[in-house]
Amino acid sequence: MDPMVAALSNFRRKKYDKCVEICTQLLVKQPLDQAAWYLKMRAMTKRVHVDDIDGEDAMTEDLFDENAVAAAPRPGTSMKTTKTLPMRPVGSAGRPISGIARPASSLQRPGSSLDPRMKTARPITSQSARAIRLGTAAILSQSDGPFIQVSRLNLAKYARDPCLAKPLFEYIFYATGDARAALELAVQATQANEFKDWWWKVQLAKCYVALNLIRDAEQQLRSALKQQYHVETFLRLIRVYLRLDQPLSAAEVCKSALEIFPLDVAIFTELGRLGEALGDIPSSVKHYRNVLIQDATNAEAIACIGVYHFYNYQPELALRYYRRVLAMGAHSAELYNNLGLCCLYSQQLDLVLVCFQRALDLATDPLIKADIWYNLSHAAISSGDIELALNCLNLCLICDSNHASAYNNLAVLQHKLGRPLLAKSYMMTAIKLEPDMPEPHINLEFLKSKI
């Protein structure tokens, strides 16, 4: 089989490593083979490509952020000051715990340029500069150096080539992570297309977001929407407003998008996440139900609705949703932990220990193991086995020595066993770890009144 045909076949079957290997062999024989150069560039981009819409956190803290609108926003207009429901736990950022772990900037594909890594120095070519034309010098492929020397590219020339400009931009942005060079190429291409190509305006917005120029990204996305309605453009504009901590503006963009794409799952999902961030859980669940109407296998919507029913004292309904996720093939420590809690509170006691045992077998993170042992202590308390509950809480503290809730529950159990001084010590530790948690303060006042 012809090597180029084999490379194309591997590319279509998503065997990008094999495709890159074949293209590299072709470039060794002919360093200026533009077809092999193009295909290798596409394969290397696809290999490390990430969904950068969901790949970044919406909320970022920066003391020198020039995009801040107000230090004390009105209630309900900021996600930084939102008060969540008292019976639903919150994460470290103050948001209510949702039913699924969403992508974040710290969870990126290995090998992606979005995570910092060492760069190799530009090698010196052995050929004379006069032997190679200026336009083709940058695509000279060498085995001991970088695939494309971006600094030597004639970006104005490639920006005018509609076949090479877009894949070259994606390679620079995703594979090399050079947002400034990608921005320069996008500016040149936008000018070459007389500012009439909406796709390039979206790419300009991506570069501006990467460089933390949020207001410039907003202008580009607004301009792109005037030329072409696209779901990705709406989603990126929503993310821009979330970076600016303007959830109401993000909600308006979602409503405008639904007028054009009335059944789009991604827009409903964004509305559901906005409801969670603002503490409006019933509205969030409503939008997640709309997601399930369109996509009955959406794991995020199923899990978030299950969380809602569990914290509204409906463990039987929550169990149905979590069993649905389990039937879809998901197996994780968090899922089995939630199944165990639902079985415990719905009085299906024969399945409680089985689910928690499975969760412990799958858990690898010490923090997750700590939460599982903490939940297992509740199962022991409900069955009246105080010694087992003490052992579970001690194992929880072994996995996570900063677990304030475990210290509080240990204090309560020690008080029941007639050890008030030890109980007071545990309560003081819980207050020191989490001063805002109300239970240790209430328990400590009660203990002082009894001593």
pLDDT of residue 103: 52
For the beta carbon of residue 134, count every other beta carbon within 10 angstroms: 10
Q: What is the mean pLDDT of residues 137-158?
A: 66
Q: Is 233 exposed, middle or buried (0-12, 13-18, 19+ CB in 10 A)?
A: buried
* Tokens 């530009």 belong to residue: 122
Asked which of 104-118, 234-248, 406-420 is least confident by mean pLDDT, the reply is 104-118
Q: What is the pLDDT, as a whole number, of residue 107?
A: 39
pLDDT band at residue 321, thresholds of 50, 70 and 90?
Answer: very high
334, amino acid identity: E
Residue at 442 is within a domain: no
Check if the beta carbon of residue 305 is closer than 8 Å to that of residue 289: yes
92: confidence class by pLDDT, cuts 50, 70, 90: very low
> Is 63 exposed, middle or buried (CB count within 10 Å of its CB: 0-12, 13-18, 19+)?
exposed
pLDDT band at 100, cuts 50/70/90? Answer: low
341 neighbors 310 (Cβ within 8 angstroms) = yes
Using pLDDT thresholds of 50, 70 and 90, give the confidence band for residue 355.
Answer: very high
Q: Are 334 and 342 in contact (CB under 8 A)?
A: no
Q: What pLDDT does residue 154 have?
A: 82
Determine which of 41-55, 160-174, 225-239, 317-331 has the lowest per-residue pLDDT on average.
41-55
CA pair distance 392, 377, nearest whole angstrom: 5
- Classify residue 2: in a domain, yes or no: yes
Q: How far apart are CA 70 and CA 85, in angstroms?
A: 24
- Rounded to whole angstroms, what are the CA distances from 150 to 138, 145, 173, 414? 7, 12, 11, 66
Tell me if 109 is assigned to some domain: no
Please check the confidence at residue 137 and state whether its pLDDT lies above 70.
Answer: no
**What is the CA 331 to chain-centroid distance, rounded?**
19
Are 95 and 47 a contacting pair, CB within 8 Å?
no
Q: Which of 360, 356, 408, 349 is nearest to 384 (CA)?
A: 349
Measured CA to CA in angstroms, residue 33 lies from 29, 142, 143, 217, 258 at distances of: 9, 13, 15, 36, 46
pLDDT tens-place string over residues 23-59: 988 988 888 888 888 899 899 999 888 777 765 544 4
Helix ranges (H only) for 265-418 are 265-277, 281-294, 299-310, 315-327, 333-345, 352-362, 366-382, 386-399, 404-416
Long-range contact pairs involving 225-232 (C-beta distance under 8 Å, separation at least 24): 225/198, 227/196, 227/198, 227/201, 228/198, 229/260, 229/261, 230/198, 230/202, 231/257, 231/261, 231/264, 231/266, 231/267, 232/53, 232/202
Q: So what's the pLDDT on residue 357?
A: 93
Q: Would residue 71 count as lying in a domain?
A: no
**33 located within any domain:** yes
Please tell me the pTM assigned to this model.
0.77
pLDDT in tens, 57-90: 444 444 445 555 555 565 566 666 655 444 456 5
| Contact between residue 38 and residue 46 where contact means Cβ atoms under 8 Å apart | no
- Give the chain's radius of gyration (CA, Å): 27
Question: How many folded domains does the chain comprise?
Answer: 1
Kindly give, in sequence order, each residue whose CB lies less than 8 Å from that of residue 399, ignoring residues fewer than 6 positions away. Answer: 366, 367, 369, 370, 373
Does residue 19 lie in a domain region?
Answer: yes
What per-residue confidence (pLDDT) applies to 177? 85
Q: How far apart are CA 204 and CA 42, in angstroms?
A: 20
Residues above pLDDT 90, as percent of the chain: 51
Rounded to the nearest 5 degrees, what angle is found at the Cα of 123, between the Cα atoms of 117 and 126?
160
- Domain span at residue 15 reads 1-49
Q: Is residue 166 part of a domain?
A: no
pLDDT for 119 equals 29
Which residues on neighbouring strands pair with residue 90, listed in sequence order? 96
Q: State the chain's mean pLDDT as an integer.
A: 81
Q: Taking 70 as the threshold, does the pLDDT of residue 258 lie above it?
A: yes
Instruction: Find the mean pLDDT for residues 350-361.
Output: 92
Does any domain span residue 196?
no
Determine contact, residues 197/189, Cβ cutoff 8 Å: yes
